[in-house]
Amino acid sequence: MIKRAARLATGLLPEFARARLARYRFGYTGGGAEIPLTREGRADGAFRVTLGGGAALVLTPDLEPDFKDHFVDAGEARDEMAGFLEVSRRSAPDAVLLDVGSNKGLFSLVHLLTGPRHRAVLVEPSPPLCDDARTLLTLNGVVDRAQIVAAGASATSGSRAIVIDGLGFARSASGDAAAIDVPFLTIDELCATHCVVPAIVKIDVEGAEADVLRGAAATLRAHRPILCLELHLDFLERLGESAAAMLAGLSDIGYRFETPSGRPLAAWRVGRSLKAMMRIVAR
């Protein structure tokens, strides 16, 4: 109800105020953690990014927007990456990252490069993005410590029809001639089948977060991995999902929440937030 009223009020605002509000809702406000790094170009068009602490990433030109978003530009995406770096660096020497909605594999690459024995399992329903992730991990010499699962994650297993948009993202399809069938599985099933014991679970699934977590109940209870969640609150609302109920379920099994920078975060604040997107860490 609060969000609906806010959206109605937004339409009455002048253009500059609507633009400012949109930057706030999508996390593009100023501030944010600084990530020490140096950047060097390469003759092949790729570029090398060396992070404070020694990890060095080789990124291809198509990853320039992702690099700027997560490492350079002000905003909550940079906070998210800084928080993830801290979680990864503090994890066990053989820590496994379960990267759900792995996209091109940037977070998995960071995890693999912060520890020589770190491993990652990437779960991504888009075949082109799986190919991009494999190329990126191979370029950086870490593909042997990664497993790429070309599938979606959900509360139930089964085949689903998707379409791939112009950016390579997988979208639900209904009667689309370009649709392809891809497998969807639960995190519990994946972990049991592949003998995965995740230390960190990163979830970025464009509004399907609650559905994915329902399929992870046994894994979360058994192993209590740290959760790095990107919550798409507007999408959750459209799907009839309650962010507050989702976090209450995690609270019931002992999770507590914080911002990526480590500040405690009450679950009710997430449920009442006017933001379209929030990044949180659950421990």
**pLDDT tens by residue, 145-170:** 999 999 999 999 999 988 898 888 88
Residue 18 — pLDDT band, cuts 50, 70, 90?
Answer: low
- pLDDT at residue 193, rounded to an integer: 94
- pLDDT at residue 14, rounded to an integer: 74
- pLDDT at residue 38, rounded to an integer: 97
Tell me the two tokens of residue 146: 């990664």
Residue 85 — pLDDT band, cuts 50, 70, 90?
Answer: very high
- pLDDT at residue 273, rounded to an integer: 87
- Mean pLDDT to the nearest integer, 36-58: 95
The predicted-structure confidence for 218-242, as pLDDT tens digits, reads as follows: 999 999 999 999 999 999 999 999 9
Residue whose tokens read 């979830």: 203
Are 275 and 7 in contact by the 8 Å Cβ rule? The answer is no
Given a cut of 60, whether residue 171 has pLDDT beyond it is: yes
Given a cut of 90, whether residue 123 has pLDDT beyond it is: yes
The predicted-structure confidence for 262-273, as pLDDT tens digits, reads as follows: 999 999 899 888
> In terms of pLDDT, which residue wins out, 221 or 73?
221
> In terms of pLDDT, which residue wins out, 236 or 8?
236
Are 276 and 25 in contact by the 8 Å Cβ rule? The answer is yes
DSSP of 226-241: EEEEEEEHHHHHHTT-
- Mean pLDDT to the nearest integer, 9-29: 64
> In terms of pLDDT, which residue wins out, 170 or 142?
142
Given a cut of 60, whether residue 1 has pLDDT beyond it is: no
Strands 37-41 and 47-51: antiparallel
Nearest one of 60, 192, 23, 71 to 134, comparing CA atoms: 60
Mean pLDDT of all residues belonging to the chain: 91
Strand partners, 182: 160
Are 110 and 55 in contact by the 8 Å Cβ rule? The answer is yes
- pLDDT at residue 241, rounded to an integer: 94
Given a cut of 80, whether residue 132 has pLDDT beyond it is: yes
> In terms of pLDDT, which residue wins out, 54 or 247?
247
> In terms of pLDDT, which residue wins out, 148 or 28?
148
Please, what are the domains in the chain?
Answer: 1-30 (no CATH), 61-282 (3.40.50.150)
Tell me the backbone φ, ψ of residue 14, rounded to 5 degrees: -65, 165
- pLDDT at residue 3, rounded to an integer: 57
- Mean pLDDT to the nearest integer, 74-88: 93
pTM > 0.85: yes or no:
yes
Of 20-29, 31-40, 79-88, 201-210, the one with minimum mean pLDDT is 20-29
- Mean pLDDT to the nearest integer, 271-278: 87
Given a cut of 80, whether residue 243 has pLDDT beyond it is: yes
